[in-house]
Amino acid sequence: MGSFPRIRPRRLRSSKYLRDLISETSLDISKLILPVFVSEAIEKPIETPGLEGQLTYPSDSSNLVNFISEALDLGIRSFLIFGIPKIKNEDGIRAYAPDGPVQVAIRNIRKEIGWDPLIFTDLCICEYTSHGHCGIPLNSRKGDVIDNDSTLKVYQKIAVSQAQSGSDFISPSGMMDGQVKAIREALDDAGFNDVGIMAYSVKYASAMYGPFRQAVDSAPRFGNRKSYQMDPRNAKEALKEVRLDLDEGADIIMVKPAILYLDVIRLVKEYYPEVPLAAYNVSGEYAMIRSAIKLGLIDETQSIIESLISIRRAGADMIITYFALDAAKIISSGKEIF
């Protein structure tokens, strides 16, 4: 009898209730942020190109309000709004126009629903520009590059415009040096001291953005974004980027993408445990899982929840994900998963 093991980890896995009781990581609906696409170029909701199961809504439509209301009913409280203009130009002026797609959408939501939804607004100009870059091009002897400092002036205009429309958090995603400081100064000068900043602090030049770029037609028309987005080979560099954004006034920091960069999420959380950390489960990650589900290769319920649990387990406090509605429905159903 003495040869049999006395310590049996299996004892703690013998029932669902016991597994739930000792589980180390939880996935709560309140931790999910739902991306929402709004467009001023459509009159009714359309399937979002490249993102199966996602819709793009007219900025001023009742359909958008109904969609936000349904998500609220499921327990989702936070939304990240992306805008698609009718006309693009080199400077992306529709990004800060008072009647731009994001501005109209926010005012529509606030008018019909009120201040219950927590609204984050993506701040970038790639969706709004004819060239598809996140900043203003500058012709130089080095070739076509992005003019960091003139771009910051555009970001300031966008931030104030979004805040005036009712945004709770400005989310700069362009990876321009000094963007958080410039945006914080512009918001404070305009009297929006209480509007927060969720910074895309650690944003990699990843292949995982393809479906998003198709959805908003933002693929660069020349060159690439490797000169301002981070090199996928670097992890420790993320700590420098986070430190800079925190010193400049960021309230929440973000790692993007999520699943392919779980090690970076863990590293950032270990170094900055006191700072709220978001992770963006990006379009390419969503599309890969969705495709495998469609082919019948993986279980839909468990793969969605397991993928999000991995991001939480790595250290993310909140997750921006296209699976937010699916996850909310699964969690609300009480269906056994693990």
- Name the burial class of residue 268, with classes exposed (0-12), middle (13-18) and buried (19+) by CB atoms within 10 angstroms of its CB: buried
Catalytic one of 256, 294, 329, 335:
256
d(CA 49, CA 45): 12
Could you list the residues known to form a binding site for 5-aminolevulinate, using ranges: 213, 225, 283, 322
Q: Residue 3: CB partners within 8 Å, gap ≥ 6? A: none
Catalytic one of 153, 157, 181, 203:
203
Q: Is 203 a catalytic residue?
A: yes
d(CA 212, CA 216): 6
3-state secondary structure of 145: strand
Per the CB < 8 A criterion, the answer to whether 274 and 317 are in contact is: no
Could you list the residues known to form a binding site for Zn(2+), using ranges: 124, 126, 134
Q: Which of 327, 308, 326 is nearest to 318 (CA)?
A: 308
d(CA 221, CA 227): 15
Could you list the residues known to form a binding site for Mg(2+), using ranges: 241
Q: Is 86 a catalytic residue?
A: no
d(CA 58, CA 45): 6
**Total length of the chain:** 338
d(CA 33, CA 12): 33
Could you list the residues known to form a binding site, using ranges: 124, 126, 134, 213, 225, 241, 283, 322
Pairing state between β 46-47 and 55-58: antiparallel
* Tokens encoding 314: 């790595």
Q: Which residues are catalytic?
A: 203, 256
